[in-house]
Amino acid sequence: MPTNTVLSLSKEVAGALSAGDPVVALESTIISHGLPQPRNLEVAVELEEIVRAAGAVPATIAVLDGVARIGLDEAELTRVATEPGLRKLGQRDLAAAAALRASGATTVSATSFLAARAGIRVFATGGLGGVHRGWTDSQDESADLDTLSRTKITVVCAGVKSILDVPATLQRLETRGVTIAGFGSDTFPGFYLHSSGEPVDWRIESPDEAAAIMLAQDRLGTETALIVANPVPQAAQLDPALHDRVLAEALAAAERAGVTGQAITPFLLEFLAEGTKGASLEANLAAVRGNARLAGLIAAAWSARD
């Protein structure tokens, strides 16, 4: 008979949290559905190393055999990277996965929810989900936005994926009360691109300033997320003209193939990686690496607050 455990922290993560040491949550959908094999496992390991080098304990999150695991060992990370047909779990899928003993990688919505439940305040990813282009027909808005509107967590990301309707996503985040701070930037990043061209209202320059906003959230009783929008360096971005051309092809291909729902984001990311001969993948990785590092520094500043 299986135990009734639905949430399990690794020893290292549990120890760090109880000592008040810095911890950074990492999602697993980017590993299972966002990156090609075998690169995905290398990246999963590398991201954990980057978080450590920045002074924090990494906590990659996934659901394995019905148990939401906060902090994976090497064998568990390997399962996430290689298991055929691994599910993609949003927040709404967690209870069903737990009850039915299923396994799956967690999206930003599921990861934020689980991290917050475990007491982790800082989370690094690549690009958030958001409002899809053509929303008026499909009503496809990522559950990431809803979860962030009612979860107090700091998400370090390179904006939202550029396959989305970025201005509409920013409008939704405003409506839902999610704070956005550009890290060293007056514009919202464009995921593969340094900038989306859209302005942000707040600009911060240091991990300490991020931690100060988090402390103010606590003092005010704010229950929404803080998005620290950290642009991919200009030198590492995808060529904007190539981006625009291949993205247009990707969107047309998705429509022709009738791809919808959970499958659309992985489809578009993969199409872009192929259509740019891997250049979009390199830009994506550069963004994620920078976010893991900055999240580690913010977690350290948060732990050192007085």
> Site residues (CB under 5 A) for Mn ion?
140
Please select the residue that binds ligand PSU; options are 58, 66, 104, 127, rule is CB under 6 A.
127
Nearer to ligand PSU, 27 or 93 (CB): 27
Mind giving me the DSSP string for 6-45? -EEE-HHHHHHHHHT--EEEE-SHHHHTSS-TTHHHHHHH
* 201 Cβ neighbours under 8 A, 6+ residues apart: 180
Answer for the pair 57, 21: CB distance below 8 angstroms, yes or no. Answer: yes
For residue 265, state whether it binds ligand PSU (rule: CB under 6 A).
yes
126 binding partner (options ligand PSU, Mn ion, none; Cβ < 5 to 8 Å by kind):
ligand PSU
Active site residue 88: no
Assess 34 for contact with ligand PSU (CB under 6 A): yes
Are 89 and 110 in contact by the 8 Å Cβ rule? The answer is yes
Question: What does the per-residue mask of binding to ligand PSU show for 270-299, with x meaning CB under 6 A?
Answer: --------------x---x-----------
Preceding peptide of 38 cis, ω within 30° = yes
Residue 190 makes contact with ligand PSU by CB under 6 A: no
Which of 118, 144, 178, 303 touches ligand PSU (CB under 6 A)? Answer: 144
Q: Tell me which of 76, 161, 205, 249 is the catalytic residue.
A: 161
Total residues at the site for ligand PSU (CB under 6 A)? 19
Query: Is position 161 annotated as part of the catalytic site?
Result: yes
Which residue type occupies 110? A
Which lies closer to ligand PSU via its Cβ, residue 121 or residue 132?
A: 132
| Options 11, 12, 27, 83, the catalytic residue | 27
Question: With binding defined as CB under 6 A, does residue 61 bind ligand PSU?
Answer: no
Are the C-beta atoms of 155 and 128 separated by less than 8 Å? yes
Q: Is 129 in the site for ligand PSU (CB under 6 A)?
A: yes
Taking the mean position of all CA atoms in its chain, how far away is CA 222?
21
Give the nearest distance from C-beta 294 to ligand PSU in angstroms.
15
Contact 172, 131 (CB under 8 A): yes
46 touches 289 (CB < 8 A): yes
Q: Residue 235: how many CB atoms within 10 A of its CB?
A: 7
Interface contacts to ligand PSU, rule CB under 6 A: 27, 29-30, 33-34, 107-108, 125-127, 129, 142-144, 262, 265, 269, 284, 288
By annotation, the residues acting in catalysis are 27, 161
